[in-house]
């Protein structure tokens, strides 16, 4: 049974944060999965409305509905990745089934016709905002060892902290260090206990300098990454149609985060003078979070042909909790196997994350009942992402890193629909700028989509297929002095089905 480390009370202030800059982007980068019609048209619904996922772009869109409606959406998601690391190339694929969306809009009209408010709508909706299902394995030969991860965190740490007392177990010391010294010193202890690190003066308990038992040269390395879970958003929406040509709407959103990750890093060498020949480092992370945001939006009928839309989404204020476990194993041709398995769950103090606000401007051209073309432009400034804590944790360096690493972004969504009797034929295009100033860390993202739908009057069935491509540099241990990572070129595609009922 695992021992649990509770970081409580005044001990919070002494803990080195385990969060890193990749966490900020993972939870700030929302991508509404949506209904089949929404996906088929690239999500370009800011000036259109009339779709239960469109309210996530512009809350005024629910007032466009002519009658009450319910819809449910399922999607089969797949991905494929080409992974480049050192001199190695690997290709992987994966798939899963998602429950994308569920919602209902209730339309209340002005029967008297005397009020300037022609219609009022109330909407309850759930939308998945991120699919965390992903895995890849990178392998190849490099000239940089994992020893730098442990070595740089150990420098400056007194040897006396890293040596077990008589009768003290690995779990006891690992737990003690987490409670009193923090996560970074735990990492130093793992490296020391597994013999990756050696003290310059092992007889001096005040020694604070260390060297590596892994000799320089060439290293064969494998890194396996697997994540699961999803992020989602529950919305309560109210909107009104005013004087026939103007729509106003408001969303109150409750967000959740459900993210789990396991990584395994293996390294082997036959370098001269190397006392450690193999390393296996396993990390498990479990993240749970809840947040709140609000949206306001408006749509105006400029003419029978043109509609304009504008919407603002506030920052999302998250409260997040994380747990980690770690194991480290080394092999020496001289000394054999050393296993450091603390069997301890690190429970970190909850922290707050504020994600960026976003602004969406839209225009749509409607050609009677024959079809439409819609264009959305969204602006989002990722440098405004911010970590904070109620327990004294200092996130100054991490927040400064966000400002220096991220930038403002623009997203363009274009969609079209053509109708022929009860059939609808759709297509879309998406372009999203990279949030990184250095686009070698993550490229711009592009996607195309198409779909069709059939309307029986009371019932509707829609289908969509979309594919999106992006290249990124996946650093193995962000925030550490081990800078290795893999280039991952990924495409994701979705088959989405939505069933709708008018009532």
DSSP 265-334: EEEE---TT-S--EEEEEEEEEEEEEEEEEEEEEEEE-SSSEEEEEEEEPPPEEEEEEEEEEEEEEEETT
- The torsion defined by the Cα of 320, 325, 326 and 327, in degrees rounded to 10, comes to -160
Q: Within a 13 Å sphere around the CA of 25, how many CA atoms are in the beta-carbon half?
A: 19
Confidence (pTM): 0.90
Q: CB under 8 Å to 15, separation ≥6 — which residues?
A: 7, 178, 182, 183, 348, 349, 393
Question: Residue 395 above 80 pLDDT?
Answer: yes
- Whether 9 shows a pLDDT value over 60: the answer reads no
pLDDT at 7 over 70: no
pLDDT of 12 reads 36
Compute CA 163 distance to the chain's CA centroid, rounded to the nearest angstrom. 38
**Is the pLDDT at 6 greater than 60, yes or no?**
no
Q: Would you say 302 and 259 are in contact if contact means Cβ atoms under 8 Å apart?
A: no
Per-residue pLDDT reduced to its tens digit, 291-304:
999 999 999 999 99
**What is the average pLDDT score of the chain?**
93
Question: Percent of the chain beyond pLDDT 70?
Answer: 96
| Weakest mean pLDDT among 23-32, 57-66, 276-285, 465-474 | 23-32
Share of the chain above pLDDT 90, in %: 86
Average pLDDT over residues 396-414: 95
- Please classify residue 154 by burial: count the beta carbons closer than 10 Å to its beta carbon, then call 0-12 exposed, 13-18 middle and 19+ buried: buried
Nearest C-alpha neighbor of 265 from the set 107, 149, 430: 149
Is residue 230 within 8 A of residue 77, CB to CB? The reply is: no
- Domain 3-145+214-502 fold is Porin (2.40.160)
DSSP 159: H
The domain limits of the chain are 3-145+214-502
- In this model, does residue 335 exceed pLDDT 90? no
Cα angle value 93/267/149 (rounded, 5°): 100
Quick one: average pLDDT of 170-187? 94
Q: Cβ distance 461 to 47 under 8 Å?
A: no
More confident residue, 378 or 2: 378
Residue 59 has pLDDT above 90, yes or no: yes
Supply the pLDDT for residue 8. Answer: 34
- Distance in angstroms between the alpha carbons of the first and the last residue of the chain: 53
Q: Is the pLDDT of residue 408 over 70?
A: yes
Q: Is the pLDDT of residue 91 over 80?
A: yes
Question: Residue 376 CA to chain centroid, in angstroms?
Answer: 23
HSE of 289, CA atoms in CB hemisphere, 13 A: 31
Q: Which pLDDT belongs to residue 18? A: 62
| Mean pLDDT of all residues in 417-439 | 96
Give yes or no for a contact between 489 and 156, defined as CB atoms under 8 angstroms apart: no
- Write down the pLDDT at residue 392: 74
Other Cβ atoms closer than 10 A to 111: 7
394 confidence band (pLDDT: 50, 70, 90) = confident
pLDDT of residue 30: 82
pLDDT bin (cut points 50, 70, 90) of residue 3 is low
> What are residue 19's phi and psi, to 5 degrees?
-70, 155
Closest CA to 123 of 145, 100, 139, 107: 107
Question: Strands 3-6 and 344-347: what pairing?
Answer: parallel
Q: Is the predicted pLDDT of residue 14 greater than 50, yes or no? A: no
With b for 16 or more beta-carbon neighbours within 10 A and e for fewer, the 159-194 pattern comes to bebbeeeeeeebeebbbbbbbebbbbbbbbbbbbbb
pLDDT level of residue 4 (50, 70, 90 thresholds): low
User: How many C-beta neighbours within 10 Å does residue 359 have?
Assistant: 13
């Amino acid at each position: 049974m695992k021992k649990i480390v509770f970081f409580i009370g005044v001990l919070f202030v002494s803990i080195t944060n385990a969060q890193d800059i990749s966490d900020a982007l993972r939870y700030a980068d929302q991508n509404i999965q949506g209904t089949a019609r929404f996906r088929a048209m690239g999500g370009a619904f800011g000036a259109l409305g009339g779709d239960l996922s469109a309210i996530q772009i512009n809350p005024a869109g629910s007032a466009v509905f002519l009658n009450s409606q319910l819809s449910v959406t399922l999607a089969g998601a797949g991905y494929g990745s080409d992974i480049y690391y050192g001199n190695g190339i690997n290709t992987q694929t994966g798939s899963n089934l998602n429950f994308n969306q569920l919602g209902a809009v209730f339309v209340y009209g002005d029967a008297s016709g005397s009020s300037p408010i022609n219609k009022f709508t109330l909407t309850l909706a759930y939308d998945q905002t991120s699919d965390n299902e992903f895995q890849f394995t990178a392998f190849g030969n490099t000239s940089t060892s994992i020893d730098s991860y442990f070595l740089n965190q150990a420098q400056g740490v007194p040897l006396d902290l890293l040596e077990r007392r008589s009768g003290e177990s690995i779990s006891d010391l690992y737990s003690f260090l987490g409670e009193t010294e923090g996560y970074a010193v735990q990492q130093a202890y793992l490296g020391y206990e597994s013999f990756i690190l050696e003290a310059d003066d092992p007889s001096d308990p005040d020694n604070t300098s260390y060297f590596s038992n892994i000799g320089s040269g060439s290293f064969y390395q494998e890194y396996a990454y697997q994540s699961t879970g999803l992020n989602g958003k529950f919305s309560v929406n109210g909107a009104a149609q005013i004087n026939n040509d103007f729509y106003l709407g408001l969303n109150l959103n409750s967000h959740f985060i459900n993210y789990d990750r396991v990584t395994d890093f293996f390294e082997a060498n036959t370098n001269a003078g190397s006392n450690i020949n193999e390393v296996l480092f396993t990390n498990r992370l479990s993240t749970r979070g809840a947040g709140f945001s609000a949206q306001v939006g408006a749509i105006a009928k400029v003419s029978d042909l043109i509609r304009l839309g504008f919407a603002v989404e506030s920052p999302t204020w998250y409260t997040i909790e994380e747990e980690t476990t770690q194991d480290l194993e080394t092999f020496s041709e001289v000394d054999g196997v050393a296993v450091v398995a603390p069997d301890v769950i690190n429970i970190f103090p909850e922290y707050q994350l504020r994600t960026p606000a976003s602004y969406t401007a839209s225009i749509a051209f409607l050609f009677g009942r024959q079809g439409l073309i819609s264009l959305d432009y969204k602006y989002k400034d990722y440098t405004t992402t911010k970590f904070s804590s109620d327990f004294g944790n200092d996130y100054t360096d991490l927040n400064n890193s966000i400002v220096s690493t991220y930038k403002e972004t623009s997203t363009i969504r274009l969609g079209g629909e053509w109708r022929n009797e009860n059939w609808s034929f759709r297509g879309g295009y998406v372009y999203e700028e990279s949030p990184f100033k250095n686009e070698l860390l993550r490229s711009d993202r592009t996607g195309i989509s198409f779909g069709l739908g059939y309307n029986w009057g009371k019932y509707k069935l829609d289908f969509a297929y979309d594919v999106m491509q992006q290249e990124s540099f996946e650093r193995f241990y962000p925030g550490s002095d081990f800078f290795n990572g893999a280039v991952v070129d990924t495409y994701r595609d979705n088959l989405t089905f939505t069933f709708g009922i008018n009532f």
